[in-house]
Chains A and B, each alone.
Chain A
Amino acid sequence: MAMKYNWDWSVVLCRAPEQAAAVTGGSGAQLPGGVSALAGGAAQTFDTGAHCAQPYFDWIVSGLGWTVVVSIFAWMIAFTVGSVVGVARTLDQPWVRRGATAYVELFRNVPLLVQMFLWFFVVPELLPKETGHFLKRQLPLPEYWTAIVCLGFYHASRTAEQVRAGIESIPRGQTYAALAMGLTTPQVYRYVLLPVSYRIIIPPLTSDFMGIFKNSSVGLTIGVLELTAQSRQIAEYTFNIFEVFTVTTVLYMLITLIVSTIMRFVEKRLHIPGTIALGGN
Chain B
Amino acid sequence: MFGAFDYQVVIRNLHLLWDGMQITFLLTGVAIVGGILFGTILALMRLSRFMVLSFLAGRYVDAFRSTPLILVIFWFYFAVPIVVGRPIGDLYSVLIAFTLFEAAYYSEIIRAGIQSIRMPQIHAGLALGLTRWQTTKTIVLPQAFRNMVPVLLTQAIVLFQDTSLVYVVGLKDFLTAADLVAARDNRVVELYLFTAVVYFILCWLGSLLVRRLQRQYAI
A111-B175, A231-B74 known; A3 vs B82 contact (CB < 8 Å): yes
CA distance A125 to B1 in the complex (A): 8
| Cβ–Cβ contact B63 & A245, under 8 A | no
Contacts of A3 in B (CB 8 A): 82-83, 85
Number of interface residues of B (CB under 8 A): 37
Tell me the chain B residues, 179-210 only, with Cβ under 8 Å from chain A.
179, 188-189, 192-193, 195-196, 199-200, 203-204, 207
Binds B, one of A36-44, A185-193, A209-217, A265-273: A209-217
| Cβ–Cβ contact A111 & B199, under 8 A | yes
A220 proximal to B (CB < 8 A) = yes
Partner of A252, one of B68, B164, B188, B196: B68
B162 proximal to A (CB < 8 A) = yes
Contacts of B1 in A (CB 8 A): 125, 129
A80 proximal to B (CB < 8 A) = no
- Interface centre among A3, A114, A214, by most B CB within 10 Å? A114
| Cβ–Cβ contact B164 & A113, under 8 A | yes
Chain A: number of interface residues, binned into ranges? 35 or more
| Cβ–Cβ contact A253 & B67, under 8 A | yes
CA distance A220 to B1 in the complex (A): 26
CA distance A117 to B71 in the complex (A): 19
| Cβ–Cβ contact B69 & A126, under 8 A | no
B25 proximal to A (CB < 8 A) = no
Tell me the chain B residues, 57-90 only, with Cβ under 8 Å from chain A.
62-63, 66-71, 74-75, 78-79, 82-83, 85
CA distance A5 to B161 in the complex (A): 35
Partner of B63, one of A108, A126, A242, A249: A249
| Cβ–Cβ contact A111 & B68, under 8 A | no
Contacts of B189 in A (CB 8 A): 121-122, 125-126
Partner of B68, one of A5, A106, A113, A217: A217
| Cβ–Cβ contact B193 & A105, under 8 A | no
In the complex, the chain A residue whose C-beta lies closest to that of B75 is A245
Contacts of B157 in A (CB 8 A): 109
Contacts of A30 in B (CB 8 A): none
Specify the main secondary structure of chain A where it touches its partner. Answer: helix
Contacts of B70 in A (CB 8 A): 217-218, 220, 228
Partner of B165, one of A113, A122, A129: A113
B133 proximal to A (CB < 8 A) = no
Contacts of B188 in A (CB 8 A): 121-122, 125
| Cβ–Cβ contact A110 & B199, under 8 A | yes
- A202-227 CB contact bits vs B (8 Å, 1 = yes)? 00000000100111111011000000
Contacts of A105 in B (CB 8 A): 204, 207
Partner of A235, one of B78, B85, B175: B78
Partner of A249, one of B67, B85, B162, B200: B67
Contacts of B2 in A (CB 8 A): 125
A199 proximal to B (CB < 8 A) = no
Contacts of A218 in B (CB 8 A): 70, 165
Q: How far is the CB of B156 from chain A (nearest CB, A)?
A: 13
Contacts of B63 in A (CB 8 A): 249, 253
| Cβ–Cβ contact B74 & A221, under 8 A | no
| Cβ–Cβ contact A109 & B79, under 8 A | no
Contacts of B203 in A (CB 8 A): 108-110
A118-B192, A241-B79 known; A110 vs B165 contact (CB < 8 Å): no
Contacts of B79 in A (CB 8 A): 241-242, 245
20 pairs, CB–CB < 8 Å, chain A vs chain B: A3-B85, A109-B157, A109-B161, A109-B207, A110-B203, A111-B161, A114-B196, A117-B179, A118-B196, A214-B68, A214-B69, A217-B69, A218-B70, A220-B168, A228-B71, A235-B78, A241-B75, A245-B71, A248-B71, A249-B67
Binding site for A on B (CB under 8 A): 1-2, 62-63, 66-71, 74-75, 78-79, 82-83, 85, 157, 161-162, 164-165, 167-168, 175, 179, 188-189, 192-193, 195-196, 199-200, 203-204, 207
The 6 closest A-B pairs by CB, nearest first: A109-B203, A256-B66, A111-B161, A217-B68, A214-B68, A111-B164
| Beyond A4-B85, A110-B199, A125-B2, 13 extra complex contacts between A and B, CB < 8 Å | A3-B83, A109-B199, A111-B175, A114-B199, A115-B196, A117-B179, A122-B193, A125-B1, A125-B189, A214-B68, A235-B78, A245-B75, A252-B66
